[in-house]
């Protein structure tokens, strides 16, 4: 097995980066699309019931109302709301001896994904880039400053990111996963990130907030903002979040 920097998985990550220098000449691949829905018209079908039990009804509104929003209130996000979202995303929810399980599942319980928050407007918290310490349930300030503008530029100029109360950035510490799964681990890392982001967005709905996931970004620029090298640790995914207008 080659060292992890030479794995096809690592090379794929590198080779599929968005780069500012080449994005202007990027062309849609010449690939024929496919219909959004698949069906088996000749198959016998059974209608599904849509009556939910009381416990199902408790979770239903959050799933029903989750929608990507790209407009945010200019009110600050309460600190407790941010804490709830972080807990929902990656908070510790179980223990087996020294081992800590989290709100979102992770392949092999390896938890390769790290959460950073670029805070613009959170009540009582100075703007800055913070790392979520899962073990201590704390924010660790990596650096002071408002990064919304910079992040929006690094995300191909997506303007709504400038208005977010918080831009979350998820990265992966690749070795954590690759030491066990090698190339296949890349699949698991992105799946882990999807679970985490969805938990966070559902939690945002519960605190009168909402947000939008973002995967279009110049990789090197987001890595630079976070202060990671893009090899040992690399940005995967972002979400802009704020209170609903």
d(CA 45, CA 137): 48
Question: Min. distance of Cβ 104 from ligand FMN in angstroms?
Answer: 15
Q: Which is nearer to ligand FMN, 126 or 157 (CB)?
A: 157
- The tokens for 162 are 């400038």
Please report whether residue 169 would count as binding ligand FMN according to CB under 6 A: no
Report whether 168 contacts 90 (CB < 8 A): no
Question: Min. distance of Cβ 241 from ligand FMN in angstroms?
Answer: 13
Max CA-CA distance within the chain?
61
Residue among 200, 214, 235, 243 that touches ligand FMN (CB under 6 A): 214
Question: Min. distance of Cβ 72 from ligand FMN in angstroms?
Answer: 13
Report whether 155 contacts 122 (CB < 8 A): no
Site string for ligand FMN, 139-168 (x = CB under 6 A): -------------------x----------
With CB under 6 A as the contact rule, which of the stretches 5-13, 83-91, 162-170, 212-220 interacts with ligand FMN? 212-220
Cross-strand partners of 233: 173
With tokens 């590198």, the residue in question is 14
d(CA 8, CA 28): 23
Q: Which is nearer to ligand FMN, 77 or 161 (CB)?
A: 161
Residue among 68, 93, 133, 159 that touches ligand FMN (CB under 6 A): 68
Please report whether residue 202 would count as binding ligand FMN according to CB under 6 A: no
d(CA 186, CA 192): 10
Question: Min. distance of Cβ 124 from ligand FMN in angstroms?
Answer: 29
Cross-strand partners of 138: 133
Please report whether residue 240 would count as binding ligand FMN according to CB under 6 A: no
With tokens 């959004």, the residue in question is 36
- The tokens for 80 are 């407790």
- Which residue ranges make up the site for ligand FMN (CB under 6 A)? 67-68, 158, 212-216
């Amino acid at each position: 097995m080659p060292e992890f920097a030479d794995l096809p998985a690592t090379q794929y990550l590198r080779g599929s980066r968005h780069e500012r220098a080449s994005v202007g000449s990027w062309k849609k691949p010449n690939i024929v699309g496919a219909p959004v829905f698949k069906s088996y018209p000749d198959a016998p079908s059974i209608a599904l019931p849509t009556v939910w039990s009381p416990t199902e009804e408790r979770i239903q509104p959050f799933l029903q109302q989750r929608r990507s929003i790209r407009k945010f209130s200019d009110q600050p996000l309460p600190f407790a709301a941010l804490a709830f979202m972080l807990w929902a995303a990656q908070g510790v929810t179980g223990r087996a001896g020294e081992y800590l399980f989290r709100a979102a599942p992770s392949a092999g319980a390896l938890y390769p994904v790290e959460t950073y928050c670029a805070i613009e407007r959170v009540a009582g918290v100075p703007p800055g880039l913070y790392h979520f310490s899962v073990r201590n349930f704390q924010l660790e300030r990596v650096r002071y400053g408002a990064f919304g503008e910079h992040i929006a530029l690094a995300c191909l100029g997506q303007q709504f990111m400038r208005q977010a109360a918080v831009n979350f950035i998820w990265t992966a510490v690749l070795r954590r996963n690759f030491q066990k799964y090698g190339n296949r681990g890349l699949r698991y890392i992105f799946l882990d990130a999807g679970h985490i982001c969805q938990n966070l967005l559902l939690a945002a709905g519960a605190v009168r907030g909402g947000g939008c996931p973002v995967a279009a970004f110049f990789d090197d620029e987001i890595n630079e903002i976070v202060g990671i090298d893009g090899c040992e640790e690399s940005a995967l995914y972002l979400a802009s979040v704020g209170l609903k207008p």
